Amino acid sequence: MSANTDGLSPRAAVSQMATGYWISQAVRAMAILGLADHLASGPRTAADLAEETGAHAPSLARLLRTLVALGLCERDDAGGVYLTPLGEAMRSDVPDSARSFVLFITAPWVERGWEELPQAVRTGEPTFPRVHGVGFWDYLGVHPEEGALFDAAMSGGASARAEALRAARDLSSIGTVVDVGGGQGRLLATLLKAVPGLRGVLLDRPEVVAGAEVVLQAEGVADRCVVAEGDFFAAVPPGGDAYILAQIVHDWPDAEALAILSACRRAMAPAARLWVIEQVLPSTDGSDLHEKAGPTLLDLNMLVLFGGGQERTAEEYRRLLVAAGFGEIQVLPTDTLWSVVEAMAH
């Protein structure tokens, strides 16, 4: 991802970057008004949609015009608008819907942390606890609605992470895979569905795994999956042939990341393997960081939300894994945003 500033003057290019939040707020309005769900059955005029959503018709027409310009909707000859493939991803009833992620990442309680980014850069301290008085995970624990939104947001992208793993590695010879911090089990369910005979163990915080049974049942894989509630710093379930840490290590500073990796290694038999699934930062040596703005922005999101949470280069993952006692480390890039960092326990 990079801002397309081709042909713009430097001032215009910088101004375009600064107005980026206009786009995220237009997409948020589409999600809040549920426009994609209303358009799921076919084209509607602004007047129809205004009636269905209780919105102010002329203002809704202006929002729709913007959504057409952004490529989320298209116009038909009868004056209606319909969803493009991008807009379809905003429906709440499609597999891997983006709607929950949009609602989470643009939520005022998340953006308030971003507003304090200069302070995070000055001090290195996460701004989320400064603004909310508690850390991110504790906040989710005491705000069930926000917790549910975060879990749904993660689930929306989890099957893409499962597909990244399947693109990197053949899982047909694996007996049991343990997903550590696996959310509500969407990644695991995708793997179990795709690989007959594979068994799964899901570990996450109690309030998160409470919602896992529904996900596993819906995918028809609940009978091949054990759900465990717990704390990955304290203990990780033993007995797996493979262990997954998907978007876990990046949430934590090095000391905590090392503690999680060490807990995994303690649980693993010598022949077991670990797959760390993350957006690996390019090394600063000659790589085109401009083209890689996506992971660098995600890294700032980690700074805001978690302080020592951070995206890492392949070398940084390698160093952490070696410190936790892992060997045979390989970084496997995929065609997706995610890479798989594989390591053996022996």
Ligand X SMILES: C[S@@+](CC[C@H](N)C(=O)[O-])C[C@H]1O[C@@H](n2cnc3c(N)ncnc32)[C@H](O)[C@@H]1O
Q: Smaller CB distance to ligand X: residue 237 or 325?
A: 237
> Least distance in Å: CB of 312 to ligand X?
15
- Within 8 A by CB and 6+ apart from 14, the residues are none
Tokens for 152, please give them: 């749904």
Contact between 312 and ligand X by CB under 6 A: the answer reads no
Q: Smaller CB distance to ligand X: residue 241 or 251?
A: 251
- Within 8 A by CB and 6+ apart from 185, the residues are 179, 200, 202, 209, 212, 215, 216, 225, 227
Interface size with ligand X, residues (CB under 6 A):
18
Contact between 233 and ligand X by CB under 6 A: the answer reads yes
Options 44, 99, 199, 205; binder of ligand X; rule CB under 6 A: 205
Cβ distance 283 to 326 under 8 Å? no
Catalytic site includes residue 346 = no
Contact between 101 and ligand X by CB under 6 A: the answer reads no
Contact between 246 and ligand X by CB under 6 A: the answer reads yes
Contact between 310 and ligand X by CB under 6 A: the answer reads no
The residue annotated as part of the active site, out of 38, 56, 143, 250, is 250
Amino acid in the structure at residue 329: I
> Least distance in Å: CB of 103 to ligand X?
16
> CB-hemisphere CA count at 13 Å for 92?
12
Contact between 251 and ligand X by CB under 6 A: the answer reads yes
Contact between 128 and ligand X by CB under 6 A: the answer reads no
Listed residue (275, 263, 279) closest to 314, CA to CA: 279
Options 34, 70, 135, 137; binder of ligand X; rule CB under 6 A: 137
Whose tokens are 């022996």? That residue is 346
Whose tokens are 């890492």? That residue is 312
Contact between 311 and ligand X by CB under 6 A: the answer reads no
Listed residue (331, 301, 294) closest to 127, CA to CA: 301
Contact between 272 and ligand X by CB under 6 A: the answer reads no
Cβ distance 199 to 175 under 8 Å? yes
- Within 8 A by CB and 6+ apart from 169, the residues are 275, 332, 340, 342
Contact between 208 and ligand X by CB under 6 A: the answer reads yes
**Residues that bind ligand X in the complex, under the rule CB under 6 A:** 137, 154, 158, 161, 181-183, 187, 204-205, 208, 231-233, 246-248, 251
Active-site annotation, residues: 250
